Amino acid sequence: MTPNPALGVVFHWLGGFAAGTFYVPYRYVRRWSWETYWLTGGVFSWIIVPWILAFSMTNKLLATLHETPAIALFWPFFYGVLWGFGGLTFGLTMRYLGLSLGMAVALGYCAAFGTLMPPIFRGEFATQVLGTQSGVVILIGVLVCLIGIAFAGAAGISKEREMPDAMKQVVIKEFRLKKGLLVATFCGVMSACFSYGLAAGDPIRAATLRHGTAPLWQGLPILVVVLAGGFLTNFVWCLTLHIRNKSGGEYFDPKMPRLPNYLVCALAGSIWYFQFFFYTMGETQMGVYKFSSWTLHMASIIIFSSLWGIALHEWRGAGRRTKGLLALSLALLVASTMIVGYGNYLSTAHHA
C-alpha cells in the first residue's frame, strides 16, 4: 500500500475529533460517582468496542494473538498498564481544569514524549529524523505543535486570572488550577506510554498482515492488547474508589437513572475508542515517519477540544487577550498538522 500523508492527516483529524468530543456526553450523567461512570464508559472503550471491531475487520484475530511471542504481547500490555495511569488521571484533569486548559497541558507533555521517544529508543533519531530533509520538516512541525500547545496553556492561565471565582465554579464546577496542573503533568507523561505500546506491537502487526488483514486495519489487534493493559489499571483504581466511597451499588440502585446513564457512558466510551481506531488508520498512511502520527493526533485533539470548550462556554467572561492567545494556539496547531503532513509527503515523494 502506497502511503498517502494527506489522507493520514484527515484520519488523524477524525481521531482528534473523537478524542476531543468523548468527554462531552459524560456531562449528562446524573447522580453517579466519577468512578462509576468512568469505569462503565471504559468497559466500552477498552474491551467491548476494540474486540468487536478487531474481530470484524481483521483476519483470524485469536490466531494472530496466539502466534505472537509472549514477550511481544507483554510489552504492549505493560505500556498499556502505564498508560492507564494517565488515562484515569485524565478524567481528573478535565474535572479540575476543564476541556480546554486540561487538554492543552496534559497533551503538551504527551505530544513531546510520545512523538520523540520511539525513534530515540530505536536509534533512528539522528539518521532518520535529523539526517533527512523530510525528518527535519516533521521535527519543525512537532516544534510548532508544542508552541501551539504552550499558547493554549497560556490562554487557559490568562482565563483563570481574569475570571472571578464564582464564574470559574459555574463553568467548571471543581476548578482547581494548582491541583489540576499537577494532575495534568502526570497524566501527560504517563499517557505517552500509549505511543510506546503501539511501537512495541510491531510483531502483532506483522502477524495479522500474514493472515491477510488489510493494511489499513493492521493496528486494530495491537489496540486490543494495549487497551487491555489500560483497562486493568483503571479497573483496580475504580474498584478502590468504590470500596472507599461505598459507591459500588450505584450500578444497580433502582433509585438512580441507570438506563440513561448506561446509554450515555456507552456513547462516550465508544466515541473514545474511535480516536485510536482512526489513529491506527492514519499511521498506515505516514510511511517511514509514522512516529509523527502522535503529534498529529495530539494537535487534532487540542483543536477540537478547544472548539468544544468554546461551544460549552468555558471561555465565557474571558478577555480579548485570552481569546487572542486561544486563536493563535489553534492557528499554530492547524499549521503544525500541515507541516508534519508535508514532511511525510516529502518522504513518500523521495521514495517514489
Which of 339, 324, 333, 349 shows the shortest CA–CA distance to 111? 333
The overall pTM is greater than 0.85: no
Domains identified in the chain, total number:
1
Q: What is the largest CA-CA distance in the chain?
A: 64
Cell numbers for 45: 472503550
- Output the pLDDT for position 173: 60
Residues of the chain with pLDDT under 50: none
- H or E stretch including 17? helix 5-21
Cell numbers for 242: 468504590
Report, in this order, helix, strand and coil percent for the chain, each rounded to 5.
85, 0, 15
- Output the pLDDT for position 39: 95
Domain that holds residue 199: 5-351
Q: How many CB atoms lie within 10 A of CB 253?
A: 14
What sign does the CA torsion over 128, 130, 132, 133 have? positive
- Output the pLDDT for position 172: 58
- Output the pLDDT for position 89: 82
